Amino acid sequence: MNKVVLVTGANSGIGLGLCERLLQDNESLQLCLACRNMQRAQAARSALLTSHPSAQVALLQMDTSSISSVLAAAQEVKLRYNRLDCLYLNAGIMPKPQFDVNAFFKGVFSSGIITMFTTGQGILTQKDCVTADSLQEVFATNLFGHFLLIRELEPVLCDAGHTSQLIWTSSSNAHRPAFNLEDMQHQRGTQPYSSSKYASDLLSLALNTHHNKQGLYSSVICPGFVMTNMTYGILPSFPAFLWTLLMPVFWLIRIFCNNFTLNPYNGSEALFWLFKQKPESLDPQAKYHSSTSGLGNNYIQPRKMDIDLETSEALYEQLLQLESEVRKKLKGKQK
């Protein structure tokens, strides 16, 4: 049977790069692009079909920051497919950051240059906003919308005698100090992106605890430092030509630091590799990093995540409680 794969945030960057690789490997896939902007989604679909005319590429409108959009999209998926083999939880946002120029130039000439470039640590702070559902936008988009999607799609993911995968696009910027269980949505902090990515690492572990017996397995990847629209938005005051000037620096750094994958194809290496593995053989506490050597060869590096079962379970319970609350609010509005 042809596998059914759904990718959130698939119209550009790493998501689109992944879709291209999946179809290069197997055009018989049933591939569904779940995107917020349908105009961009249609353009992505057309580009994929130009390269793979016989491919089955469907579109699904979904904004993971919107509860009603996620619920409607999940219903549509269940109408279209009786099973889902792989769900890529790739959609995400990073708020336009405040950039500390002085810290940047100090960092360029310090031993922390690689960490600074790959995580923004020390040079970026972010200000989040609130969605129409009264949730923090980064939390809702990167984590909670995906959690709700998984919950809604359990009937097609947890099918008897069938193994399915959840694969999260996380980040090397997922730091434990940025996350606080008492402030799950990161309302009081200045690192909502880092917090949301650390939370996704925790949630992946909890999902394995709760769903492995049902044949559902969750894994986490880091794409490395990739030049995408999100990356270009990190330093919004920089003119475009500066990125061109920086590219030789990035290539030089890659000789010594293999997480400078730089383009979406390389960055999707771990996403694609995981799809080819038996999910039950994977380490639930490992993050699988896309890596590119100085010669341009791609490979995978599994690294233990700084997470624990107790915290992951506590987060899972809080998310269930929040799910219950938002469903009650939604029902109240519908009445």
Give tens-digit pLDDT for 273-291: 999 999 999 999 999 999 9
Helix (H, G, I), strand (E, B) or coil at 36: coil
Task: Give the sheet arrangement for strand 298-304, strand by strand.
Answer: 56-61, 30-35, 4-8, 86-89, 164-169, 216-222, 286-292, 298-304
The pLDDT assigned to 241 comes to 72
Domain spans of the chain, in order of start? 4-334
What does the alpha-carbon distance between residue 267 and residue 14 come to, in Å, rounded to a whole number?
Answer: 6
pLDDT (tens digit per residue) in 212-225: 999 999 999 999 98
Nearest in space to 22 (alpha carbons), one of 38, 6, 1, 41 = 6
Question: Residue 127 above 80 pLDDT?
Answer: no
- Please, which pLDDT band fits residue 244 given cuts at 50, 70 and 90? confident
For residues 30-54, average pLDDT: 97
Alpha-helical runs (H) found in the chain: 13-25, 38-51, 67-80, 101-108, 113-119, 137-139, 145-152, 154-157, 192-211, 229-234, 240-256, 264-267, 269-275, 309-334
At a CB cut-off of 8 Å and minimum separation 6, what does 306 contact? 176
What's the whole-number average pLDDT of the chain?
90
Query: What pTM was estimated for this model as a whole?
Result: 0.88
What architecture is the 4-334 domain classified under in CATH? Answer: 3-Layer(aba) Sandwich (3.40)
Extract the tokens encoding 282. 């994977």
The pLDDT assigned to 255 comes to 78
The pLDDT assigned to 47 comes to 97
pLDDT (tens digit per residue) in 78-102: 999 999 999 999 999 988 666 666 6
- Percent pLDDT > 90 in the chain is 71
232 annotated active-site: no
Which member of 88, 193, 217, 265 is catalytic? 193
The pLDDT assigned to 226 comes to 83
Q: Which amino acid is at 218?
A: S
